[in-house]
């Protein structure tokens, strides 16, 4: 019915779980809460397919917040559409540094950890700093690509693997340089990177409310694979 998430529990300082039930029914909802409480869980993540029935009133009355509509995009990798961008290169530093950390925080603008008012702002920022630090150290990504000009990192994208496919993690462009094609160049360079590594498909997740992100991936040839409503259940 659910699994305890050790990393998240350690990070937040209380027990965090992921509910694995993929459908909502009064019956499973009624057995779930007592089980979570008995186990000392304070926060449970629950992703349900967007088309599935959800009793929003019931969930909200029990302390759940709809924090995200998660969209998974995917596409096949067709080398013919990929170009090389000279200003994009693999980040060579051993540690992330303040420029990349600031970009990581921007990449989380629409994240459920920022949207949920019960998560302190400082926790959200720390989470994204850890994410980019671990991406640069290659423990949760395989590479971080950066857009550099005038000795400034204007944007970044992290690339890794999920379920045997190329996967984009963090994507962000410094707001001073939005709308200049840097996001597109980063995504296309990531596609090139995946193709070079021999991947035949790539995926990326964003939020339905992130119009810029959705537009960026669609214009780079991605199609929607699935949509999920994402709840934070506070107990």
Ligand X SMILES: CC(C)(COP(=O)(O)OP(=O)(O)OC[C@H]1O[C@@H](n2cnc3c(N)ncnc32)[C@H](O)[C@@H]1OP(=O)(O)O)[C@@H](O)C(=O)NCCC(=O)NCCS
Residues that bind ligand X (CB under 6 A): 106-107, 109-110, 171-173, 178-184, 206, 210-213, 215-216, 219
Residue with token string 């119009």: 211
CB 97 within 8 A of CB 144: no
Sign for the CA dihedral angle at 203, 204, 207, 208 comes to negative
Which CB sits closer to ligand X, 2 or 45? Answer: 45
Nearest distance from C-beta of residue 162 to ligand X, angstroms: 14
Which CB sits closer to ligand X, 178 or 226? Answer: 178
Structure tokens at 108: 């989380």
Closest-by-Cβ residue to ligand X is 183
Nearest distance from C-beta of residue 210 to ligand X, angstroms: 5
Which CB sits closer to ligand X, 15 or 114? Answer: 114
Nearest distance from C-beta of residue 218 to ligand X, angstroms: 8
Residue 230 β-bridge partners? 47, 68
Nearest distance from C-beta of residue 179 to ligand X, angstroms: 5
CB 175 within 8 A of CB 72: no
Which CB sits closer to ligand X, 15 or 112? Answer: 112
CB 42 within 8 A of CB 14: yes
Nearest distance from C-beta of residue 26 to ligand X, angstroms: 35
Q: How far apart are CA 186 and CA 90, in angstroms?
A: 11
Which CB sits closer to ligand X, 9 or 210? Answer: 210
CA 68, distance to chain mean position in Å, is: 11
């Amino acid at each position: 019915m659910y699994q305890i998430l050790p990393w998240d529990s350690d990070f937040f300082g209380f027990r965090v779980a992921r509910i694995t039930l993929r459908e909502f029914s009064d019956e499973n909802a009624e057995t779930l809460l007592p089980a979570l409480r008995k186990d000392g869980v304070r926060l449970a993540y629950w992703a349900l397919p967007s088309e599935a029935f959800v009793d929003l009133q019931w969930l909200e009355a029990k302390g759940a917040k709809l924090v995200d509509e998660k969209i998974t995009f995917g596409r096949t990798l067709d080398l013919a559409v990929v170009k090389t961008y000279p200003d994009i290169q693999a980040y060579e530093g051993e540690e992330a540094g303040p420029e990349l950390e600031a970009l990581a925080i921007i990449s989380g603008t629409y994240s459920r950890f920022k949207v949920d008012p019960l998560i302190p702002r400082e926790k959200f920022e720390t989470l994204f700093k850890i994410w980019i630090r671990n991406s640069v150290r290659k423990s949760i990504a395989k590479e971080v690509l950066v857009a550099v000009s005038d000795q400034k990192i204007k944007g970044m994208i992290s690339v890794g693997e999920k379920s045997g496919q190329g996967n984009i993690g963090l994507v962000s462009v410094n707001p001073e340089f939005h709308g200049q094609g840097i996001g597109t160049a980063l995504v296309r360079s990531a596609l090139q990177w995946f193709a070079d590594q021999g991947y035949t498909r790539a995926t990326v997740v964003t939020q339905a409310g992130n119009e810029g992100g959705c537009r960026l991936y669609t214009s780079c040839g991605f199609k929607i694979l699935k949509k999920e409503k994402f709840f934070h259940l506070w107990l």
